[in-house]
């Protein structure tokens, strides 16, 4: 890594540590550091039973989504690629919902997560197949949007058919993700899959760099495109599927983070991977802190906050890209 | 051995009356404010302070409220939490991990179930006699609202909030039956509470249409069906009456006012048909 | 024998035959230009020779071993491929671009000292050292083409296969590029180019292969391959080859009655 990239990484890590501290303090109840050591204080329970898992989960999910977005953009050579914007997260939610509500006895967390990861894999395969057909940026993004719409509708349909009187609020829960009140069990459950997925994705760096020159040149440089595709697909499916299974759909992380870091660490795809992981963790943790700091009414869902941030961002990105290619 | 321990333990449990009760559901709020001491209630759900979703009116605004996240609940240091299925699973799991006592309630579909919930809550807060009193008042109200023997039944439809029609097997359905109506929802093939197409309604209108007025400042898109001009064409064959929406949300003490309103509506409808 | 050889190469695309049984032998230290009309199969031949395409029949061997049995990384170290107008998807600088040519050599840790030396050497050979820090998308057409050639050279390959490498270059830079290919061959690299421009081909190539409709019409040292008969058959033109100051000149007099086979 270049000296500049190392510097950026150190800054991001420092920021992450700072946010961790802030995360443990922030919520409806302010818990300063003095409360962390007094077991009798009710705030101790809040910090260690509620906020620690929430912080760890935010870091894991943010890192996974950030690096997935960076890798998908590197592979498709398309800066608009992102697991949530292109329907991978929604498909994972569909898998989870189908298992949870329509599967026989499918309430086991590992069954739900496996279904989420399987559906995420299906989505990635569909998207990569489309990207491989050289269909151009617009068609690719359109395909992703269609996938997302269909999967979202599928979630709503499944929930409305299921004999569940709280179907409507469940739909909202799955499609608008949240980190609220998650436990260490969920962290223990999702983190290994996310870590495995991130690990696989980090192996794609060399191949993604070579793809800068296009698929033919990359193949001529000795890159096995099928292995690359496989690593990417499984890596993204594991991270996205495991994340969605415990938090619901949280979007735009994979879109925003690489885009913000590209001017800082350089546009080479492999250089973006590690920083996007840390950057993603920073973004999700920061957004979650913000959501908890707003004390007006019910707690805002993180997925909504990310959409509010990411929607205009996506739009601005699209406009700047059009101007460049027009 | 276990049996020998059970009785003193149960007695001990009964002796410990909860002093800090938090309710996470507006229907449980409605029962709680009637059977518990004011000092016992630490917080109600935030819905009770919201004019468009409360069943207890201004009374709800006189209590502290919570937005039902685990953090807030823990900070209130409750010794008893009342929750329903609407409470998020993650929150319930979090409270369980923190060893906070949570009592779960379902959605009552009959008056009997609703009364049992009243009794259970009254027991939990250590005032079983208030529970009995409230149940007696509910039964008295229903008896007073019952039609005279041999009086004809009117077919009726109730639109709950969000444009949904109450189906058979719900609390509203039983209320209708006991106050001299027949729920027409079954005629349209409605097996669970859901939207009804106006076409079906116009083709075979009920004798009485009960629809709430959305509260001012709480617009919902789904309610516009009730104001559809097409319904005017049905004219005198169908008697329309306002049925406040807050009477459809919950059972418990709300049944008292609901029964009275329905009785009045039936009398007016009979007069209109005469 | 360190050679690149095609044996009985047959390729069909979309049902139509593109290469119809080619047998060709290439030597290192030589510049071979493959010329021919549009659709003759030049790019397809080049793809097969560098292992990007599996022929429907026949095979390509490198140093007597079938090319497709080589590990991709091993093959990539020996054969560099420069495709026609490659895209550069991201806003990287020239040095990073040339560094991509070291992909078959680098591991997980990125570029090492050897790699950086090779990159510097490639930049020097193509005269792009001053442009090392510039973004590729800020370069002119000619500068970009030279940067891409530098990328191909960064791996110090035994073989350089380039598809229409002169596209977008002005006369001066075309001259430079051809001189570069010449020099590479003199240093022992096997250079195989597909070219549109016959004059360039004659200028720098030791051997010219004329391909038309998937068949070899001529395979001879430079100008010998471009006889009027071959030109008529390949391009459907009536042409004359005369001696010019810097090499043979080809003058097209008109269309020829003999159509392309």
Is the Cβ pair B98, A169 closer than 8 Å?
no
Is A213 close to C76, i.e. CB distance below 8 A? Answer: no
Q: State the chains in contact with C (3 or more Cβ–Cβ pairs under 8 Å).
A: A
Task: Kindly report, residue by residue over A104-147, the tens digit of the pLDDT.
Answer: 545 677 788 888 999 999 998 888 787 666 556 677 778 888 88
B77 near A CB under 8 A: yes
Q: B86: which chain A residues are within 8 Å (Cβ-Cβ)?
A: 166, 169
What is the overall mean pLDDT for chain B? Answer: 84
User: Do A224 and C52 make contact, defined as CB atoms within 8 angstroms?
Assistant: no
Average pLDDT over residues A152-159: 86
The predicted-structure confidence for B245-259, as pLDDT tens digits, reads as follows: 888 888 899 999 999
Contact C88 A213 (CB under 8 A): yes
Query: A293 and chain B: CB distance < 8 Å anywhere?
Result: no
Q: Where are the domains of chain B?
A: 18-132, 141-273
pLDDT above 50 for B133: yes
Helix boundaries (H) for chain B: 2-15, 26-35, 58-61, 70-75, 89-97, 111-124, 128-145, 171-178, 198-203, 246-249, 254-273
Instruction: Lowest mean pLDDT of A93-102, A229-238, B98-107, name the range.
Output: A93-102
Fill in the DSSP letter of residue B103.
E
The DSSP bridge partners found for residue C19 are C11
Q: Is C121 helix (H, G, I), strand (E, B) or coil?
A: helix
pLDDT digits 0-9 by tens, B114-123: 999 999 999 9
pLDDT at B179: 93
pLDDT value of residue B122 = 95
Q: In angstroms, what separates the C-alpha of C92 from chain A's closest C-alpha?
A: 6
Question: What is the mean pLDDT of the segment spanning C251-260?
Answer: 74
Q: Does C68 touch chain A (CB under 8 A)?
A: no
**How many Å apart are CA A206 and CA A170, to the nearest integer?**
41
ipTM: 0.90
Cβ B67–A298 below 8 Å, yes or no? yes
The whole-number pLDDT of residue B239 equals 86
Strands C207-212 and C215-220: antiparallel
CA torsion through residues A266, A267, A270, A272, sign: positive
Distance from CA of A187 to the nearest CA of B (A): 13
With beta carbons under 8 A apart, name residues in chain A contacting B71: 27-29, 46, 50-51
Q: Identify which of C116, C46, C44 has the alpha carbon closest to the alpha carbon of residue C81.
A: C46
Q: Are strands B80-84 and B65-66 parallel, antiparallel or unpaired?
A: unpaired
The whole-model pTM stands at: 0.84
Residues of C in contact with A220 (CB under 8 A): 50-52, 76, 79-81, 83
Rg over CA atoms, chain A = 19
pLDDT at A237: 93
pLDDT at A123: 92
Asked whether residue A304 carries a pLDDT value surpassing 60, the answer given is yes
Q: pLDDT per residue over B23-82, tens digit each?
A: 999 999 999 999 999 999 999 999 898 877 788 888 888 999 999 889 899 999 999 999
Mean pLDDT over each residue of chain C, to the nearest integer: 89
Percentage above 90 pLDDT, chain A: 46
Size of interface A-C (CB pairs under 8 A): 77
Asked if pLDDT for residue A69 goes beyond 90, the answer is yes
Q: Are residues A222 and C77, on separate chains, in Cβ contact within 8 Å?
A: yes
Confidence of residue A56 (pLDDT cuts 50, 70, 90): very high
Cβ-contact A269, A2 below 8 angstroms: no
Q: What is the pLDDT of residue B5?
A: 45
Average pLDDT, integer, range A164-168: 65
Q: Domains plus CATH for chain C?
A: 3-87+157-255 (3.40.50.300)
Q: Which of B77, B86, B94 sits opposite A50 (nearest CB)?
A: B94
**Beta carbons within 10 angstroms of residue B174's beta carbon:** 22
pLDDT at B219 (0 to 100): 53
Region A22-29: mean pLDDT is: 88
Task: Identify any residues that bridge with B44 across adjacent strands, giving them in sequence order.
Answer: B65
Contact of B70 with chain A, judged by CB distance below 8 Å, is answered with: yes
B18-132 and B141-273, same CATH topology: yes
Task: Please indicate if any CB of chain A lies within 8 Å of the CB of C108.
Answer: yes
- Would an 8 Å CB–CB cutoff place B104 in contact with chain A? no
At residue A99 the predicted structure's pLDDT band, cuts being 50, 70 and 90, is confident
Q: Which CATH architecture has domain B141-273?
A: 3-Layer(aba) Sandwich (3.40)
* Whole-angstrom distance, CA of residue A133 vs CA of residue B55: 58
Contact between chains at A205 and C108 (C-beta distance less than 8 A)? yes
For A200-239, write each residue's pLDDT tens digit: 999 999 999 999 999 899 999 999 988 998 899 999 999 9
pLDDT at B58: 84
Instruction: Evaluate whether chains C and A are touching (3 or more beta carbon pairs less than 8 Å apart).
Output: yes
Assess contact for C1 and C64: CB atoms under 8 A.
yes
- In the prediction, which pLDDT does B6 show? 46
Given CB atoms, is A222 within the 8 Å cutoff of chain C? yes
C61, two tokens: 């061997």
The answer to whether C164 contacts chain A (CB < 8 Å) is no
Residues 191-250 of C with CB under 8 A from A: none
pLDDT tens digits along B3-12: 444 455 445 5
Structural domains in chain A, sorted by start:
58-325 (1.10.3470.10)
Which residues from chain A sit within 8 angstroms of residue C144, using beta carbons?
none
pLDDT tens sequence across B141-173: 999 999 988 888 999 998 876 667 888 888 999
Chain B residues near residue A29 by CB distance under 8 angstroms: 71-72, 74-75
Q: What is the DSSP string of A261-307?
A: HHHHH-S-HHHHHHHHHHHHHHHHHHHHHHHHH--SSSPPPHHHHHH
Tracing tokens 């008292």 back to the chain, one arrives at B256
Q: Return all residues near A198 (Cβ < 8 A) that are at least 6 apart.
A: A63, A64, A67, A235, A239, A277
3-class DSSP assignment, residue B220: coil
- Nearest C-alpha neighbor of A211 from the set A79, A73, A77: A77
Nearest one of A284, A268, A312, A307 to A71, comparing CA atoms? A268
User: What pLDDT does C115 receive?
Assistant: 92
B with A: touching (≥3 Cβ pairs within 8 Å) = yes
Fold classified for B18-132: Rossmann fold (3.40.50)
Residue of A nearest to B191 (CA): A163
In this structure, the dihedral spanned by the alpha carbons of residues A36, A39, A44 and A50, taken in order and rounded to 10 degrees, is 120
Chain A residue numbers touching B94 (CB-CB < 8 A): 49-50, 181-183
Residue where the block lists tokens 């939990």: B124
Helix, strand, coil shares of chain B, percent, nearest 5, are: 55, 15, 35
Q: Do A212 and C92 touch (CB under 8 A)?
A: yes
> Is B70 in Cβ contact with A50 (below 8 Å)?
yes
The answer to whether residue A245 neighbours chain C at the CB level (below 8 Å) is no
Cβ-Cβ contacts under 8 Å, C136 against chain A: none
Strand partners, C238: C254
Predicted confidence band of residue C101 (pLDDT cuts 50, 70, 90): very high
What would the mean pLDDT of C213-240 be, rounded to a whole number?
85
pLDDT of residue A105: 46
For A215, the token pair is 């698929």
Residue A50 with chain B: CB contacts under 8 Å = 70-71, 74, 94
C167 pLDDT above the threshold of 90: no
Min distance A40 CA to chain C CA atoms (Å): 49
Question: Which partners does chain A have (≥3 C-beta pairs < 8 Å)?
Answer: B, C
List, for residues B176-186, the tens digit of each pLDDT value.
999 999 999 88
């Amino acid at each position: 890594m270049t000296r500049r990239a190392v510097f950026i990484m150190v800054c991001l890590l420092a920021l992450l540590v700072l946010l961790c501290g802030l995360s443990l303090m922030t919520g409806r109840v302010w818990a300063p550091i003095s409360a962390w050591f007094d077991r009798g204080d009710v705030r101790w329970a809040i910090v260690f039973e509620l906020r620690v898992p929430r912080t760890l989960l935010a870091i894991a999910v943010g890192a996974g989504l950030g690096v997935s977005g960076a890798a998908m953009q590197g592979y498709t050579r398309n800066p608009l690629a992102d697991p949530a914007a292109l329907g991978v997260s929604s498909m994972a939610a569909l898998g989870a919902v189908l298992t949870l509500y329509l599967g026989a006895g499918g309430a086991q967390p590992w069954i739900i997560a496996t279904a989420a990861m399987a559906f995420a894999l299906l989505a990635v395969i569909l998207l990569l197949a489309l990207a491989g057909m050289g269909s151009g940026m617009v068609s690719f993004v359109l395909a992703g949007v269609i996938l997302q719409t269909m999967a979202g509708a599928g979630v709503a349909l499944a929930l409305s058919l299921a004999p569940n009187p709280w179907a409507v609020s469940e739909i909202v829960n799955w499609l608008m993700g949240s980190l609220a009140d998650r436990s260490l069990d969920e962290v223990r459950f999702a983190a290994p899959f996310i870590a495995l997925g991130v690990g696989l994705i980090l192996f794609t760096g060399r191949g993604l760099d070579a793809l800068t020159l296009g698929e033919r040149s990359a193949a001529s440089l000795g890159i096995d495109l099928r292995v690359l595709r496989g690593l990417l697909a499984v890596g993204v499916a594991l991270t996205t599927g495991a994340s969605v299974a415990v938090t619901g759909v949280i979007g735009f992380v994979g879109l925003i983070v690489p885009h913000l870091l590209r001017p800082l660490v350089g546009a080479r795809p492999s250089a973006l991977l590690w920083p996007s992981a840390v950057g993603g963790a920073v973004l999700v943790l920061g957004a979650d802190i913000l959501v908890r700091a707003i004390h007006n009414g019910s707690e805002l869902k993180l997925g909504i906050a990310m959409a509010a941030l990411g929607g205009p961002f996506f739009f601005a990105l699209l406009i700047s890209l059009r101007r460049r290619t027009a | 051995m276990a049996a020998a321990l059970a009785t003193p333990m149960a007695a001990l449990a009964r002796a410990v009356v909860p002093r800090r009760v938090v309710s996470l559901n507006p229907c449980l709020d409605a029962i709680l404010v009637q059977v518990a001491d004011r000092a016992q209630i630490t917080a109600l759900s935030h819905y009770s302070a919201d004019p468009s979703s409360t069943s207890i009116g201004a009374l709800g605004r006189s209590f502290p409220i919570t937005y039902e996240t685990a953090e807030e609940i823990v900070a209130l240091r409750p010794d008893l939490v009342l929750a329903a299925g609407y409470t998020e699973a993650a929150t319930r799991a979090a409270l369980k991990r923190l060893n906070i006592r949570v009592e779960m309630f379902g959605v009552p579909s009959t008056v009997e179930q609703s009364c049992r919930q009243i009794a259970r809550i009254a027991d939990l807060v250590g005032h079983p006699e208030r529970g009995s009193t409230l149940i007696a008042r509910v039964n008295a109200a229903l008896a007073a609202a019952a039609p005279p023997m041999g009086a004809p039944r009117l077919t009726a439809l109730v639109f709950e909030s969000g444009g949904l029609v109450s189906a058979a097997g719900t609390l509203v359905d039983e209320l209708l039956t006991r106050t001299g109506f027949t729920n027409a929802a079954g005629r349209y093939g409605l097996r669970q509470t859901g939207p009804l197409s106006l076409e079906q309604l116009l083709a075979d209108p009920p004798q009485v249409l009960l629809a709430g007025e959305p509260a001012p400042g709480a617009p919902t898109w789904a309610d516009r069906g009730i104001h559809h001009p097409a319904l005017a064409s049905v004219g005198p064959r169908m008697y329309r009456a306002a049925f406040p929406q807050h009477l459809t949300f919950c059972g418990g003490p709300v049944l008292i006012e609901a029964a009275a309103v329905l009785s009045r509506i039936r009398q007016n409808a009979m007069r209109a048909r005469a | 024998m360190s050679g690149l050889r095609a044996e009985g190469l047959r390729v069909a695309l979309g049902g139509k035959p593109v290469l119809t049984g080619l047998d060709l032998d290439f030597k290192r230290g030589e510049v071979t230009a493959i010329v021919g009309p549009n659709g003759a199969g030049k790019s397809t031949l080049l793809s097969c020779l560098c292992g990007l395409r599996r022929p429907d029949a026949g095979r390509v061997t490198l140093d007597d071993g079938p090319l497709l049995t080589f590990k991709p990384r091993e093959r990539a170290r020996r054969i560099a491929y420069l495709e026609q107008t490659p895209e550069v998807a991201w806003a990287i600088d020239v040095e990073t671009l040339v560094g991509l040519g070291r992909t078959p050599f680098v591991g997980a840790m990125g570029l090492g000292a050897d790699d950086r030396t090779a990159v510097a050497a490639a930049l020097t050979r193509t005269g792009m050292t001053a442009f090392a820090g510039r973004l590729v998308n800020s370069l002119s057409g000619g500068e970009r083409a030279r940067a891409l050639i530098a990328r191909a050279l960064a791996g110090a390959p035994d073989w350089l296969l380039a598809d229409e490498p002169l596209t977008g270059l002005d006369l001066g830079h075309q001259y430079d590029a051809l001189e570069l290919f010449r020099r590479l061959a003199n240093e022992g690299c096997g250079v195989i180019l597909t070219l549109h421009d016959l004059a360039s081909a004659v200028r720098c190539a030791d051997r010219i292969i004329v391909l038309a409709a998937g068949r070899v019409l001529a395979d001879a040292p430079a100008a010998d391959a471009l006889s009027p008969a071959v030109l008529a058959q390949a391009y459907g033109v009536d042409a004359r080859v005369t001696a010019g100051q810097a090499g043979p000149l080809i003058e097209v007099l008109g269309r020829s009655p003999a159509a392309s086979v």
